Amino acid sequence: MSAIPLPHRLLDQIAARRARVVVVGAGYVGLPLAVEIARAGFPTTAYDTDGARVQALRAGRSHVRDVPSDTVGQLMQAGRLQASGDPSVLADADAIVICVPTPLNKTKDPDNSFIMAAADVIAARMRPQQLVVLESTTFPGFTREVLLPRLSQRGLRPDHDFFLAFSPERVDPGNPAFGIANTPKVLGAISPISLDVARALYGAFIQHLVPVTSTDAAEMAKLLENTFRAVNVGLVNEIAIMCGRLGLDTGEVIAAAATKPFGFMPFHPGPGLGGHCLPVDPHYLSWKLRTLTYHARFIALADDINSAMPEYVTSLVARALNDRRKSVRGARLLVCGVAYKRDADDIRESPALDILQLLHREGAEVDYHDPHVPALALGARTLHSVALQPDRYDAVVIATDHGAVDYAALVEQAALVVDTRDVTRALRARHGHKIVAL
């Protein structure tokens, strides 16, 4: 009896939900993905080098806010989801999905070391008939130019022995409307054959796939998504600074412009960019273009504006205190919200951290309140969230607009409020004398 030709054997495994899937990296991207794949019926393993994380998952405890521990526990008990720190699971996998961090280094250049480390571990254990998909954000050309040769170093041939694709993650932490299954998924591969295999897997648990012609196009699409947001946030942040100089209400101006039913999309100012994507991803694109002797001007300008917003907020606080015959030095200040976005517990790249540092350097006594972040390390200091008692402070800076905070009560009790999120708009008719808005 002749052997089933590739990739039909792997496609049959996927169609029957017998394909064993290993998700490399069980963080905020990898764990939700592993859970969704397991819920679709595939035997799934979350592979992570963090032993404590692996043990917690095996005990049914989730460290990702959007993934309930009950869901992890049930899938573990049913044998549909496993957690492991043993790289031998990669040799048994039919499909491997890489979901590792891709940060920037100190010079804001891409740091792909986590992908390369994962690729080396995978390549050492690869066997024929495996699908490998990269979801970690990187620069256009990386999958084809860097990852493909890395996986081929032991002689395995793409499209004959293994299949390779890139599908950028679109995780939006805390979003109640869109999760893994119902967020359209861009998918590019190194060839039509690899694309067919990747579509078979992802089509089993995602409602709408968006195939593109190459991994390069999929990589570029991801960077366009987040560069679009970063540039427009930079624009509206500069508009906020302009409105401040002109004595105009930024929110009123944006609301008026947004009534135009075509040609305008409203963005809103804030204290700066935070999180895992917007402050990072555009730099992957600008770095790649620098290698082609092209300067990505919009990206650089938006980064300049967005990176300077914490300093602008600090200057607002200083001016507001000065108007009340107070100095920043020696003032008691409270930063309300330190996560990078509403109702999240993620503080990566949060502009609130810079605001805390800047106010501290100016000589203020600074506390923070955040119901989702009980403690944080800030340089050599460890800070803890304090009870929300606005009347104990000279000013309260609203840096993140968590839904659990009663802003009416906050404004009522506070002596001065600097609002960077426009959550006090409805309160300004009565309390406008003590509210400074961005």
Of 99, 243, 277, 336, the catalytic one is 277
The Cα angle at residue 67 between residues 345 and 77, in degrees rounded to 5: 145
Catalytic annotation on 336?
Answer: no
Residue with tokens 């989801």: 81
| Residue 203: burial class (beta carbons within 10 Å; 0-12, 13-18, 19+) | middle
Cα–Cα distance measured from residue 209 to residue 133, given in angstroms and rounded to the nearest whole number: 15
**Which of 374, 282, 292, 359 has its CA nearest to residue 321?**
359
Phi and psi for 245 in degrees, rounded to 5? Answer: -65, -35
Distance of CA 86 to the CA centre of its chain: 27
Structure tokens at 51: 């032993």
- Per the DSSP assignment, residues forming a β-bridge with 189 are 165
Question: Could you list the active site residues?
Answer: 277
